Each structure stands twice: as structure tokens, then as C-alpha cells.
A and B are shown apart, each in its own frame.
Chain A
Amino acid sequence: MFDLFTLGIAEIFQLNILLIIFVGVVVGILAGLIPGFTVTMAIVLTLPLTFGMDPVAGVAGMIGVLVGGMSGGLISAALLGIPGTPSSVATTFDAFPMSKKGESGKALSLGVWASFLSSIISFFLLVSIAPQISRFALMLGPWEMFSLIVVSLTIIASVTGDSILKGLIAGLFGILIATVGADPITGLARFTMDLQALRAGIPFLVVLIGMFAISRLFVSLERKEMIQDDKRRQEDKLKDIEFKLRPMKTLKNVLSKPGTLIGSSVIGSIIGAIPGAGGSIANIVAYDQAKRWSKHSEKFGTGVDEGVIASEAGNNSTVGGDLIPTVALGIPGSAVTAVLLSALMVHGITPGPLLIVNEPNLVGGIFFAFLVASFWMLITQFLGMRIFMKVTHVPAHLLVPVILVLCVVGTFVLNNRLTDLYILLVMGVIGYLFAKYGFSLAPAIIGVILGPLAEVNLRRAIMADPEWTLFFTRPISLAFLVLAVLSILLTVWQNYRANYRKKKITHRPQ
């Protein structure tokens, strides 16, 4: 355990790596701030830049982007009442009223402190839990790994999107995308339609850039969105708000509410660790719980300290939680950590329970990059807030073509192949249609990354022992499968109940 720390410290505390993390944090904050530019997009586009670096430096930079991005949404949420990213929706509930009362500076610095302290709490959870989980995972055979992947996918499908049916469809579609190309065991070419370009499979990153970046840009080009964007910018110009940050005074405010801070951070870390659930859910759940436990819950929504602290602590602590299954099991908790894993794979490192044993310097590096990124986030937010605010004025007509070009470049750089660009376009269209009709993209992406892993484990299990009932007789495997079925049934039941209630309410007045 302590080797992990010393190795990690040695990896991260070098001038160039500290600088890379700093740049990552700034990029992340900007991505979180600019409406229409998401953190996932920023991570995807930074990936090609990291090919030339060594793995630790590349991953450290990406963690910087992630941490920065989670706190970047705060600024527009507090000052304008518009969440810059989906993870800061609940932040607007209390931070915006507070800034309307003329306390913008207080709202911002409360948010920054809550983000920072919750990151530290989730860092401690990460370093204490991840190694235990990976030690446990080392005992799992192919049967258990397969069942674990099944449960991860059903959970992702049940927490995202508008229905579990669509979530599961998206996940299975993702798995099918991953079956194109060479069969992982025998190397036989499958579903390539005799195209040379598909023989090596559809590259994961191309799917990711297409589904998350290109499709998002298409959405922002719809007329509805353009009109909304224009309106937002006009409002934006009216509000050149004066504010004072007073970091020391607000630190005391935050520390005087330890219950809210710690509670929200733990909620955020747990939600972050669940595959598919991330900042956007944690932000709202943490806020809701803080409200429920508060002695003056009726004041929530009018600009109380706890509201700001809970919502920002909730979304920032998901980063640490998200890294737990990513590092310990090789199962990414979100699209963002999926990119992180694929960055490792580009460097020839296989993620999984063995990662901590085989690459302790890398895992230590990931831990400490997260810690350092949190400090950089604190410093840059307090010193650079005013500069960051100016950047929200970058107009969409500059942003869209430039990001489109960066997507194309990023895809091309991956394999140096022009044919990948056509795959990118197809994936962009599929992602756009999916997002448009309520199929969430997260299960599809996680399906692409976990599909081959599921297949390899399934076939290894059968090879080791052709008896397929072992999946149900080995206790841990059975437990995972039961959990998978439960996660589906529970969501279906919840939907049914919600619909039933809705019907009751609409029928009553007649």
C-alpha cells in the first residue's frame, strides 16, 4: 500500500507532469464553462495529444481535465443560473438565488471550496477502497468476471436514459459494434463485409468521438438550440457582475457544515463508483439528501450555504468514486474513464484487477494526479475566475467548425487511416439518432469497451469447463447475476409505479 504512494509521488511530482496536470485543469474548467462543449468532449479530444507522452503523464493530464471540468460548471451555474454542464444542474438551485441577493462572490467561493474538499475526501475513499476491491477481484474466475460485466451493463442501462429497455438496447448495440473485426480467441474475421478497413475492428475511440463529440455538435446546430444559445448570450452581456471572493471567510463557512460536506462527498463517491451514474445524478441526489436532513429545509432554494456545498461536493466527489472500479476492476464507471482506460490500452497496458500489482507506479500516479489536480483546481479557480468568465463569450460559429476539425484530426491521428473518418461520420449519425430518441449513449460506449471482455471471459469459462450451469452454482457469480436481474426488475417496477400514479392524478379531476 505504501509503495503505491511513494511510487505515485515519485511519478507525479516532476515539473513537467505538474505542468501537464495544470494545463489539463484549465482546459477542463473551460470545457465545463462553455455551454455546448462538454467535459467528455474535452477528454476525448485531449487523448490524441497524449499519444506522444508516457502513460502516466497522459493519464495525469486527462485526470486534470476531468477534475477541472467538474468544477467548471459552477461559474455559469452561480452567476447566470444556467448549468454549463449537466453535472451542475442542482448547483443553480441555491447558488443562483445567492448571487441574485448580491453575494455572487460567496456563492462562487463556497462552491470552489466544496469542490476541493469533497475531492480530498473522495481521494481518501479511493486510495483506501480501490486496492481492497482489486485484491478481491483477483480471486474471481472467468465465470465471476462475466457475471460482473453483465451486472455492470444492466446497472448502466437502468440508471441512464429514459427507459431501461432503450438502455439495454443501446448496450447490446455497443457490444455488437465491438464484435466487428478479429475474433478475440481464434482471430477469425467477423462481420467485416469483406472491407479491409474493418478487419482490425471498429476502433473504440472512433466510436467515442463520433457518438459523444460529433453527435453533440449536430444537436447544437438544431434551430431550437441556436435560438436558445442566442438568447443566453444576450442575457450574458447584461450581467457584468461585480464580486469579491473572500476565500478565507468562506472556508470557515464550509467547515462549519461538516455533516453536509462529508455526507455529500460520500454520496458522490458511491454514485460515481456505480457504472453509468456520474456527476449529473450525484449533484441532484446530494442536494436532495442535504435538504432532507437539514433543520431548515424550507429555506433551500433561496440561497443557503448547505445547498451550494451539497451540490458541488456531490458532483466533484464522483471523480474519485468513478476511478475506483476503473482502477480496481478495469470496468469504467463512465464514458470519461472509458477514455482513460483506452489511453492505457493504446500504450499496451491491460486494465483489470492485475493493474495494481503489475503497474503500481501507474496506479499511484493516477491517485496522486487526482490529488494534485484538486489543488490546481482550487488555485486556478480563485485566481483565474475573472478571466475564465470572459471565455463564455466564444461564439458558437467559431466553436463548432473548430471542434469538428479537432474530431477529424483526433480520429485520423489514431491509426493514420482515412477510412476511419468515414466510420467516424457513421458513428456520429448513429449517436445523433440515439441521443435524439432517448437511447442514452453511455451504455453503448461501455458496451463497446466491455463486450470483448465479456466474450473472452465467457469463452474461457466454457473452455475450462463446458458445464454452463457453473455460472449459477458458483456463489459470487450467482450473486452478480441476481443483482443484474434485480436492477432490471426494480427499474421496471419503479417506472410502472410512476406511470400508475400519473394516471391516477390525471384521472381524478374528471
Chain B
Amino acid sequence: MAELLIGLALILLSAVIYFQSGTFPVGDATQLNPGSFPKVIALALAILSIILVIVKIKELVSKRAEATEINRKEYMKELMIEYRLVFITFFSLLLYVFLMQFIGFIITTICFIIGIGLLVGPKKKKDVLIISITSVVVTLSTYLFFENVLHVRFPSGLFF
């Protein structure tokens, strides 16, 4: 099912690329335009994705006959339990990157490591201590290394 959706998304993507490639300025006839190569690739991708979609629909139809109807709600619940940490981690990562420009690298990084560490692992007193120490050491050592050796300027935030 998911593969079917991926296939459809890819067909859409190749259509967008194909039609956008047509809008690029055309040079003289002896050479390829900026749009030609993407056009060819998009066409190839579209054809392969259509094949994928057809194969998957065929599979789905033949399976539908034997498979019993699964309760949609149960299924969603199961999905949430299985991928809970993945979802939460993704959104924390997004938040971390977003907040970095306002609060600065050091504070957000320390908070992020502690947050994810406690989310994923056990939450006893000893573990909190270990993860806190790790986060501070990792953050400060990467910060100092890149600032001093490679002269990278990390975002320092609005307060400093």
C-alpha cells in the first residue's frame, strides 16, 4: 500500500519536473537545453513508477481476496506504538534546528541530547546524571573544536 503511494508521489514529481523543464530558455539547436536532461530523467522515472504502481495494484488485488479486513483503528493504534519514538524524535529534531537560531547552539544541543536520551532510555537518577554529563561534554567539545580548529561560527542566539 505504502509502495503504491510512493509510486504515485514519484509520478507526480516527475510530471512537475517534466513540465517545469519545458519552461527553461532554449539555446540554439546544436546543443541540449538546460531542460533536456531533467526531462529525459523525469520521463524515465515516470515510466518506471507507473510500472511499480501497476505491479503493486496487481499484488493488492490478489491479496484482497484472501486477507481479512483489518480494523483501521486498531491498525493506526499499532502503528503509533511501533513508530512513537520515530515521530517524537523527528519533531524534536525539527524543533531543535528551529530553536537553534534563537537560543544558540550550546543550550539547545545540551537540552536536545538530554531530552532524547531520557525519552529513549531509562529514567533513573543515575541515568539522568550520565546523560547530563555526556551532553555537556559532547556539546562543549564539538563547539570548542569547530570554533577553534576549523573557525566555524555556530549560531550564538539572541541573548549573547
Interface residues of A (CB under 8 A from B): 48, 51-52, 165-166, 168-169, 172-173, 175-176, 179, 183, 185-186, 188, 190-191, 214, 217-218, 221-224, 226, 395-398, 400-402, 404-406, 408-409, 412-413, 416, 418, 421-422, 425, 428-429, 432-433, 436-439, 451, 454-455, 458-459, 462-463, 466
Contacts and interface: CB of A to CB of B under 8 A. Distances in A.
A180 to B, nearest CB: 9
B134 A223 contact: no
Contacts of B103: none
B90 A218 contact: yes
22 contacts: A165-B51, A169-B10, A176-B45, A179-B37, A179-B41, A186-B27, A188-B25, A221-B89, A397-B117, A405-B109, A405-B139, A406-B142, A409-B142, A412-B152, A418-B97, A428-B90, A432-B86, A437-B3, A438-B3, A459-B36, A459-B37, A466-B31
B52 A169 contact: yes
B153 A416 contact: yes
Nearest to B81: A223
The 5 closest A-B pairs by CB, nearest first: A397-B121, A401-B116, A397-B120, A221-B85, A183-B34
Given A397-B122, A413-B152, A425-B90, A226 B6 contact: no
Interface string B85-117: 110011001101100110000000100111111
B49 A169 contact: yes
Nearest to A167: B48
Contacts of B121: 395-398
Which of A398, A416, A436, A455 has the most chain B CB within a 10 Å cutoff? A398
Given A223-B81, A462-B31, A175 B41 contact: yes
A191 B94 contact: no
Contacts of B45: 169, 172-173, 176
Contacts of A455: 37
Contacts of A408: 93, 96-97
A406 B94 CA distance: 15
A412 B48 CA distance: 35
A402 B52 contact: no
Contacts of A402: 113, 134, 138
B155 interface: yes
B157 interface: no
Which of A175, A402, A436 has the most chain B CB within a 10 Å cutoff? A402
Nearest to B134: A398
Interface string B59-91: 000000000000000000000011111100110
B32 A458 contact: yes
Contacts of B129: none
Given A52-B149, A169-B45, A413-B150, A176 B38 contact: yes
A396 B31 contact: no
Given A173-B45, A190-B24, A402-B113, A185 B34 contact: yes
A176 B17 contact: yes
Nearest to B120: A397
Interface residues of B, number: 70
Contacts of A226: 85, 120
Contacts of A398: 117, 121, 130-131, 134
B120 A188 contact: no
Nearest to A402: B138
B55 interface: yes
Contacts, number: 165
A221 B120 contact: yes
B122 A224 contact: no
Given A223-B81, A428-B93, 19 more contacts: A169-B10, A169-B49, A176-B13, A176-B45, A190-B24, A191-B20, A217-B89, A221-B85, A397-B116, A398-B117, A401-B113, A402-B134, A404-B116, A409-B142, A425-B94, A433-B2, A451-B41, A458-B37, A459-B32
A437 B6 contact: yes
Contacts of A429: 90
Contacts of B6: 433, 437, 439
Contact of A418 (B38, B101, B130, B131): B101
A168 B7 CA distance: 13
A173 B2 contact: no
Contacts of A166: 52
Given A166-B52, A402-B138, A412 B154 contact: yes
B38 A401 contact: no
Which of B25, B42, B90 has the most chain A CB within a 10 Å cutoff? B90
Given A221-B85, A221-B120, A401-B117, A463 B30 contact: yes
Contacts of B127: 397
A382 B111 CA distance: 40
Interface string B21-59: 100110101111011111001101100110110010000
A401 B127 CA distance: 14
Contacts of B122: 397
Contact of B86 (A173, A221, A422): A221
A175 to B, nearest CB: 5
Contacts of B155: 418
A52 B152 CA distance: 11
Contact of B52 (A165, A190, A432): A165
Nearest to A438: B3
Contacts of B21: 190
Contacts of B29: 466
Contacts of B3: 437-438
A425 B51 CA distance: 29
